[in-house]
Amino acid sequence: MILAQWLLTGRPTSVAMDITHRCNLKCLHCYWWQQEHPPELGDEQMITFLKKLRAGGLRAAILYGGEPTLRPKICRAAAGIFDATLAFTNGINGFPELENGQWILSLDGPERENDRIRGVGVYREATKNLKAASSPPIVHMTINRLNQNSLAQFTEEMLTLPVKGLGFSFVTPNQGVADENLFIPLRERNRVVMELLSLRKKYGEKVGFTQAMAQQLLTHGTFNQWNRSSACPVTRRVRCYRSDGRPKACTYGDQADCSRCGCAAVVAYRGAFNPLDYRTLRVILGLLSPAYGAKQPYDEKSIANISGKINGR
């Protein structure tokens, strides 16, 4: 039903909600620490707010924080209110049962790289909890200068664990901030995008990154068609809110630099619908439906036709 709304209407379909203003980590690259942290709605207030959003036609929820597992009651309530619920977590508190919901575990590379970004001991604790989860989470990596050279090792490690699949985004800086220690310049990013496609070719659908998604990020692809707020499809389709219920422009905050965007949601949405792409639709279905799994690895068509002359473009 949600996919049908995306295809047939121009209405918003989803909510991205900071359900808490608290977090138990302070990751180096996290946009959340650069935003204001207003008070959070109480449990009953938050549940009422979410029900109001669902009654207004928003059928899917994406739960952020801070750290959503600090409010497990809200996570469980959201999963019962919406048709589909995604909840991002750092994995430190484990993976509470989330009926009709999908946990997404944020890890940022093998142990050394991840713990440099997220804190000492985080990788071991999160992967220990991952192994004990009742349902396999999706693992999400935010690619930046500190971990860009560990994609192959990280993918290989994760696929030995009980994960549903892997997803990737790129660090998105704030406007006017160079962020040279983390942000990968766009033309340099092209190389990393092509490496992701190579990993997809090697491991198949467990790597949730398609040729159509790659086109959205490549500077010689379609990146310049959407890298501004007025052209962002996610801004039109997803309503974003702070923990006190006030709206914000984007999950990354009001100051996110769209001209350097690396948002996985935009990449997946445009990859799936501009034009319709079966492989990327399967990536989205895997997010929306906990029971929807990836196929076994297979070789896709050559990626050479979209690689272009990366150096110098």
Among candidate residues 121, 171, 173, the one with its CA nearest the CA of residue 146: 171
* Domains of the chain, each with CATH number or no CATH: 12-293 (3.20.20.70)
**Cβ-based neighbour number of residue 302 at 10 Å:** 11
Cα–Cα distances (Å) from 144 to 28, 32, 168, in that order, read: 10, 16, 11
- What residue ranges of the chain have pLDDT lower than 70? 1-8, 294-313
Longest dimension (CA), the chain: 55
CB atoms within 10 A of CB 191: 13
* Sign of the alpha-carbon torsion through 61, 138, 193, 145: positive
pLDDT of 1: 60
Q: Which amino acid, residue 116?
A: R
Which tokens is 90 given? 């750092």
Among all chains, which residue has been given the structure tokens 């309530």?
A: 77
Cβ distance 93 to 24 under 8 Å? yes
**pLDDT at position 295:** 58
Return the structure tokens found at 66: 């801070």
pTM: 0.91
- Inter-residue contact 2 to 84 (CB < 8 Å): yes
**Average model confidence (pLDDT) across the chain:** 91
Radius of gyration of the chain (CA): 18
CA 126/CA 129 separation, integer angstroms = 5
pLDDT digits 0-9 by tens, 233-282: 888 999 999 999 999 999 998 999 999 999 999 999 999 999 999 999 99
Give the Cα separation of 233 and 240 in Å (integer). 13
pLDDT value, residue 292: 79
